[in-house]
């Protein structure tokens, strides 16, 4: 049996069906969102279980990278982990927004936010491993891995989880009682499905090709959002003079481009990049994921909440996905910590969390959908409208700052009493 300390292991916890020690909060899913919630609740006096179905080492090999907006930095500062994350992320001070080869480019700078950087880019493995290291000293967090939740039933003031692990032919079974169960187990969330919470949304006719580039010559640290008729392209700076490209294309084209050999892929990609990004090489594997719009009708049920990708998915334009999940974590952690112990998991209190997050997330999801539809279009009226819009952003700095503050998550209400920069 594992101790109550956070100690990742791929060993089975139990040899026969048995009750595990009851906890106050069970977090299902140890991706960045689940880890962040555990970090926010560490040393709180609450007993926390973090449950992950994917073996620990395999989970840390994910190839994603994320743009962290200022609101995410403030959250990580609030829970005391930003200093540990900072060495592993790349700050960027310029964002260039452009439409195809139209000569007008919108430039955003830290002066538009009144901050030292516009955002930060970090790779999944670096962020996850840093959060895991923070939890090593958290005596109130137990990590169960690889264990999968197969049922979740509510009995009075407790949820009862059934977990299985090991060989499917001879699974090992355990039971875990919790005051609150948090589903942070991704867009296909088996736990959300078990609880009967249905997602609403659609698949875009687009997929995103994700690749990492190594640039031979040092580059200005710039993040690019470049719109093409096939869809937006994000080019994000990584540490060590590398860039992460997220290239949106129609499904068949995305699959064909991802399947090219490195030389052909780079030749196809090069015309879409900034001209100063010359002598590039591909690093590591490329992968493809479909673009999706999804939002659940309710984030809460009795003794149960959904957060992160289990609750919502948006088009990757603007890099909003993980940032929305971290805002979910911040709101939920504050509510848990402010609630009397016996009321953690009470549906009336959880519906307050639902009301806070649902409408805020809908605004951002709708805006990313609008951007993709506006710019992934060759109809001349829409082309004229969006290029006039780019001109207005250049001519009207207050409008540009307003848009940037919204995309950075600083226009919507934030948890806590902290004062945030309001820009100039």
Residue 327 lies in a domain: yes
Can you give the pLDDT at residue 7?
A: 53
Residue-wise pLDDT for 288-335, tens only, equals 999 999 999 999 999 999 999 999 999 999 889 999 999 999 999 999
Residue 171 forms part of a structural domain: yes
Given phi > 0 = left and psi -120 to 50 = alpha, else beta, which region is 377?
A: beta
CA dist 62 and 132 (Å) reads 15
3-state helix, strand, coil in the chain (%, to 5): 35, 30, 35
| Contact status, residue 183 vs residue 28, Cβ threshold 8 Å | yes
pLDDT over 80 (residue 417): no
Per the structure, the complete domain to which residue 301 belongs is given by 18-65+128-200+294-367
How many angstroms separate the CA atoms of 226 and 221, rounded? 16
CA separation, residue 208 to residues 69, 77, 251, 316 (Å): 21, 31, 8, 8
Q: Cβ(151)–Cβ(161) under 8 Å?
A: yes
Question: Total domain count for the chain?
Answer: 1
pLDDT over 80 at 147, yes or no: yes
Is residue 106 assigned to a domain?
A: no
* pLDDT computed for residue 75 by the predictor: 94
What letter would DSSP give residue 216?
A: S
* Residue 76 domain-assigned (yes or no): no
Give residue-wise pLDDT tens across range 21-37. 999 999 999 999 999 99
Closest CA to 207 of 286, 102, 311, 97: 286
What's the whole-number average pLDDT of the chain? 88
DSSP class per residue in 257-307: HHTS-HHHHHHHHGGGS-TT--SEEEEEEEEEEEEEEEEES-SEETTEEE-
pLDDT at res. 30: 94
Contact 24, 179 (CB under 8 A): yes
Report pLDDT for 14: 39
Residue 10 is predicted with a pLDDT of: 41
Q: What percent of the chain has pLDDT over 70?
A: 91
Q: Quick one: pLDDT at residue 62? A: 57
pLDDT band at 38 (very low <50, low <70, confident <90, very high): very high
Ramachandran sector of residue 95 (left: φ over 0; alpha: ψ -120 to 50; beta: rest): beta
pLDDT of residue 57: 59
pLDDT in tens, 109-143: 999 988 889 999 999 999 999 999 999 999 999 99
Provide the pLDDT for residue 278: 78
pLDDT of 412 above 80: no
Cα distance between residue 107 and residue 97, in whole Å? 7
Domain assignment present for residue 75? The answer is no
pLDDT > 90 in the chain, percent: 65
pLDDT band at 12 (very low <50, low <70, confident <90, very high): very low
pLDDT band at 5 (very low <50, low <70, confident <90, very high): low
| Domain-located, residue 319 | yes
Q: Are the CB atoms for 191 and 152 separated by under 8 Å?
A: yes
Q: What is the CATH number of the domain that holds 155?
A: 3.50.50.60
**Band of pLDDT at residue 377, cut at 50, 70 and 90:** confident
Q: Is the pLDDT of residue 59 over 60?
A: no
Q: Is residue 151 part of a domain?
A: yes
Q: Name residues whose C-beta falls within 8 Å of residue 281's C-beta, 6 or more positions apart in sequence.
A: 213, 214, 216, 262, 266
Confidence at residue 312, expressed as pLDDT on a 0 to 100 scale? 96
> Looking at the predicted structure, is the pLDDT value of residue 76 above 60?
yes
Question: Can you tell me the distance from the alpha carbon of 291 to that of 279, in angstroms, rounded to the nearest whole number?
Answer: 30
Per-residue pLDDT band for 11 (boundaries 50, 70, 90) equals: very low
Tell whether 120 is covered by a domain.
no
Q: Is the pLDDT of residue 13 over 60?
A: no
Q: Residue 279's pLDDT band (boundaries 50, 70, 90)?
A: confident
Average pLDDT over residues 373-384: 86
- Spatial distance between the Cα atoms of 171 and 150, rounded to a whole number of angstroms: 12
Q: Is the pLDDT of residue 18 over 90?
A: no
């Amino acid at each position: 049996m594992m101790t109550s300390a956070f100690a990742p292991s791929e060993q089975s916890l139990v040899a026969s069906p048995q009750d595990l020690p009851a906890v106050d909060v069970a977090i299902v899913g140890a991706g960045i969102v689940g880890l962040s919630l555990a970090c926010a609740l560490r040393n709180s006096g609450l007993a926390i279980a973090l449950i992950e179905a994917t073996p620990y080492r395999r989970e840390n090999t994910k190839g994603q990278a994320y743009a962290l907006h200022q609101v995410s930095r403030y959250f990580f500062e609030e829970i005391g982990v930003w200093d540990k994350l900072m060495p592993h992320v790349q700050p960027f001070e310029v964002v260039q927004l452009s439409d195809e080869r139209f000569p007008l480019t919108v430039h955003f700078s830290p002066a538009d936010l009144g901050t030292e950087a516009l955002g930060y880019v970090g790779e999944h493995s670096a962020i996850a491993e840093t959060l895991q290291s923070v939890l090593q000293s958290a005596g109130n967090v137990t990590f169960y891995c690889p264990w999968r939740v197969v049922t979740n039933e509510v009995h009075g003031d407790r949820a009862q989880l059934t977990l299985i692990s090991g060989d499917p032919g001879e699974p090992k079974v355990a039971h875990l009682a919790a005051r609150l169960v948090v589903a942070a187990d991704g867009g296909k969330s088996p736990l959300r499905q078990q609880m009967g919470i249905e997602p609403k949304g659609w698949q875009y006719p687009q997929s995103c090709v994700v690749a990492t580039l190594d640039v031979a010559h040092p580059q200005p640290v710039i993040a690019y959002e470049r719109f093409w008729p096939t869809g937006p392209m994000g080019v994000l700076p990584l540490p060590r003079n590398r860039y992460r490209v997220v290239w949106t294309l129609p499904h068949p084209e995305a699959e064909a481009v991802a399947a090219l050999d490195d030389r052909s892929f780079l030749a196809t990609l090069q015309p879409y990049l900034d001209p100063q990004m010359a002598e590039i090489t591909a690093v590591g594997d490329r992968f493809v994921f479909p673009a999706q719009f999804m939002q659940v009708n309710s984030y809460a049920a009795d003794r149960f909440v959904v957060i992160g990708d289990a609750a919502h998915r948006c088009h990757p334009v603007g890099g909003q996905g993980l940032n929305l999940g971290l805002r979910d974590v911040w709101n939920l952690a504050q509510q848990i910590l402010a609630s009397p112990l016996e009321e953690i998991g009470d549906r009336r209190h959880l519906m307050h969390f639902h009301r806070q997050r649902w409408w805020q997330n809908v605004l951002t999801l709708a805006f990313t959908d609008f951007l993709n539809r506006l710019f992934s279009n060759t109809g001349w009226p829409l082309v004229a409208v969006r290029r006039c819009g780019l001109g207005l952003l250049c001519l009207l700095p207050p409008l540009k700052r307003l848009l940037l503050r919204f995309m950075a998550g600083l226009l919507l209400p934030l948890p806590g009493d902290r004062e945030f920069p309001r820009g100039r």
